[in-house]
Amino acid sequence: QQQVRQSPQSLTVWEGETAILNCSYEDSTFNYFPWYQQFPGEGPALLISISSVSDKKEDGRFTIFFNKREKKLSLHITDSQPGDSATYFCAASANSAGNKLTFGIGTRVLVRP
Amino acid sequence: EAGVTQSPRYAVLQEGQAVSFWCDPISGHDTLYWYQQPRDQGPQLLVYFRDEAVIDNSQLPSDRFSAVRPKGTNSTLKIQSAKQGDTATYLCASSFAGWEQYFGPGTRLTVL
């Protein structure tokens, strides 16, 4: 059973457009949601995170929108750049479970110049 | 500040061979994680430590995999008798008090 689901699996946008990546989860005890960015041949790098007490978190061109009632969140990448081409993983954890991260399958983003 | 370092970066084995992966976490980080990332999938937690103690190894195939962190700093993950299904990237991550996890570059394992 996949506890963290991501869609779409891949996404292509033009430079300057907004990329929208979706994530949903099953476990209502999850209360921390980091997004990781991974380039080929590298480990995942923490991009931005949100806790369940907030409904929005912004960091530069990256924004997380969180809907606790629907157990959904999304990552918006505004003014997409070719350097943003990477795989993005949504993850979730619960304080009660020792902050073990459960990852989604990832969304591969390609930004065309 | 140095990040998480891992070695080797690549390993190629025949089925049945043994292999060890080594991880040096960020200085001061008390929690260390080992993940397995199959191709085109997200990382999946195998085991994690707080200091030298194993906190959760429920996803570690205990018949062939083992992990240690004897002094609460560096860690070694060992596969005793590798199978083709073990082909994946093995990632080490560390954090302080279980919060933000920082990943190393990983070891890409191919089992022929």
Q: Which of A42, A37, A40 is nearest to A81 (CA)?
A: A37
Each residue's pLDDT tens digit in chain A (113 positions)?
569 999 999 999 999 999 999 999 999 999 999 999 999 999 999 999 999 999 999 999 999 999 999 999 999 999 999 999 999 999 999 875 557 899 999 999 999 99
Q: Vertex A82, ends A79 and A72: CA angle to 5°? A: 55
Per-residue pLDDT at B53: 93
Which phi and psi angles does B50 have, rounded to 5°?
Answer: -120, 120
CB pairs under 8 A between A and B: 50
- Segments making up each domain of chain A, as ranges: 4-85+100-112
Question: Quick one: CA dihedral A9, A59, A31, B59, positive or negative?
Answer: positive
Q: Which of A83, A78, A73, A74 is nearest to A110 (CA)?
A: A83
Q: Vertex B30, ends B24 and B31: CA angle to 5°? A: 80
Per-residue pLDDT at B1: 65
CATH tag for A4-85+100-112 (out of 1.10.760.10, 3.30.70.600, 2.60.40.10, 3.40.718.10) = 2.60.40.10
- List residues of B whose CB lies inside 8 A of any A CB: 4, 33, 40-45, 48, 55-56, 91, 93, 95, 98-106
Per-residue pLDDT at A100: 85
Measured between CA atoms, how close is A108 to chain B, in angstroms? Answer: 9
The tens digit of pLDDT for each residue in A46-71 reads 999 999 999 999 999 999 999 999 99
The radius of gyration of chain B from alpha carbons, rounded to an integer in Å, stands at 13
**Residues of chain B contacting residue A104, judged by C-beta atoms under 8 Å apart:** 42
CATH tag for B5-111 (out of 3.90.1170.50, 2.30.40.10, 2.40.50.100, 2.60.40.10) = 2.60.40.10
Each residue's pLDDT tens digit in chain B (112 positions)?
689 999 999 999 999 999 999 999 999 999 999 999 999 999 999 999 999 999 999 899 878 999 999 988 999 999 999 999 999 999 999 998 767 899 999 999 999 9
Task: Classify the phi-psi angles of B28: left when phi > 0, otherwise alpha if psi is within -120 to 50, otherwise beta.
Answer: left
